[in-house]
Amino acid sequence: MSVPLQINANTDKYFITGYPQKVKVTLEGNASLVTVSANTQSFRIIADLTKLGIGRHTVQLREEGLNKELTYTIDPRTIDVEIQTRDNKNADSGRFQQG
């Protein structure tokens, strides 16, 4: 199944590119657990970038909230991202200044 990828990062400070919007997850195990998990999608696939700085990084994806009785594969298992400083210089350009 196709699942949205959640990016954990400070997006106010950093601009992140290169990651897919969704990843493929294959679930195996008890048929009813697989069906419930697939239908509710009560789990998340996460790329944790919170401890990374500016530059290119390869990040391993992880799941959160999936029933422990199920086994899973994530495709792709890792992603390549680029983290850049957000340019906030233009944020004030629309303000009226009186002199």
User: Domain 2-87 is in which class?
Assistant: mainly beta
| Residue pair 17/54 in contact by the 8 Å Cβ criterion | no
- For residue 8, the SS3 value is strand
- Tell me the pLDDT tens digit for each residue of 9-22: 998 899 999 999 99
pLDDT higher than threshold 90 for residue 6:
yes
- Tell me the pLDDT tens digit for each residue of 38-71: 999 889 999 999 999 999 999 999 999 999 999 9
**Spans of all domains in the chain:** 2-87
